[in-house]
Amino acid sequence: MKKVFLVIVAMAMAISVIRAESTGTVKGEGKLDFSQVNLNKVKAINLTKLTDDNVQYRKPKWSPDNTVIAVSKIKEKGIFLVDLKTKKKTKIENTDESLGDYSWADGGINFRDKNHKTKKVLVSNYKNVLGRIILKGNLVQDSDKIYLKNKNSMQLIAPWGKNPIFLEDGSVQYQIDDNLYVIYDGEKREIYHKYRSGVTRPYSKTEEIVESMVVSENMACSPDGKFIIYADRKDDGYNYTASELKIKEIGTKGNKKIIDVPNLIPDQLDWSFDGRKIIFLDWKSDSIYSVDLDIKK
């Protein structure tokens, strides 16, 4: 009887390990709940250099399980996947037309082609990983909160925002500052800055506000839309001399430094799907770095 019990325990432990490896999370950890995060207790730890091969990378994006990053390169067309464990780099087929504006989506990656049209390329390892959430219902503004109202429920879309609208692909766009907007697809949030340059987004040709926005690359939005992490870069009037990563709760005036990165110039930040990691490009070296978030309630 004792042997049978030990076998069952061993099998259970093995299954737990397999599940942890397949999801890319530490055992006992899952998607972070930001509902009661104490801003003053947030810090970044484990600054890690992920690439060191003299390649000029751009726009790193976490995969849903944090084991792979999607990147583009300066001197080579296309979108590439970098396996963080093996360091193997694989070009995604049929992405030569990518303009560098892409995001993870259900079953693969969405990207913008030379005609500013959205295309989707499947990535076999990530088929149905995200389980794309279709946002349906009526958008309701209640004070500073935005809800999605259905027959039987009120789903909180944004803890702080205004002017919510649906885009043609079913995503929701809302405003968090005079020139800052968030586009939420049910799983991931991207921050955009409104410019007068006429740069277009692939989401909707009919929404004028989207057509004049580009990605705000020195900041990233938390999965729940409550916080922003951004790079505060210091300069001497000629060159950047130091940097800090700071966290700010959207809709408030305060912020908190979470880590010093004095020898790096962070840019093109991305917040992981589970809320536990930040990735960024270093302007100086074109290398990619990550930090883990130590978040206490």
pTM above 0.85, yes or no: no
CB 194 within 8 A of CB 243: no
DSSP 76-116: S-SEEEEETTT--EEEPTT-TT--S-EEEETTEEEEE-TTS
CATH class label, 33-297: mainly beta
What are the CA-CA distances from residue 243 to residues 58, 230, 275 (Å)? 19, 10, 22
pLDDT(229) > 60: yes
pLDDT (tens digit per residue) in 128-165: 445 455 678 899 999 999 999 988 889 899 999 999 99
Mean pLDDT of 71-79: 89
The candidate with the shortest Cα–Cα distance to 213, out of 232, 198, 227, is 198
> What is the pLDDT at residue 13?
41
Q: Looking at residue 168, what is its pLDDT? A: 75
Residues 6+ away with beta carbon under 8 Å from 235: 241
Please answer whether residues 181 and 191 qualify as being in contact, where contact means their C-beta atoms are separated by less than 8 angstroms. Answer: yes
- From CA 240, how far away is CA 260, in angstroms rounded? 14
Residue 189, both tokens: 């949030």
Task: State yes or no: pLDDT of 106 exceeds 90.
Answer: no
For residue 111, name the pLDDT band (cuts at 50, 70, 90).
confident
Q: Which helix (H) or strand (E) holds 228?
A: strand 227-235
- How much is the pLDDT for 1? 53
Mean pLDDT for the chain? 78
Task: Count CA atoms closer than 13 A to 133's CA, side-chain side.
Answer: 13
For the chain, the structural domain boundaries read 1-30, 33-297
- pLDDT at position 139 is 94
Strand partners, 174: 182
Report the distance separating Cα 247 and Cα 259, nearest Å. 10
Cα–Cα distances (Å) from 25 to 19, 132, 147, in that order, read 9, 20, 30
d(CA 129, CA 62): 13
Token look-up 């005036």 returns 253
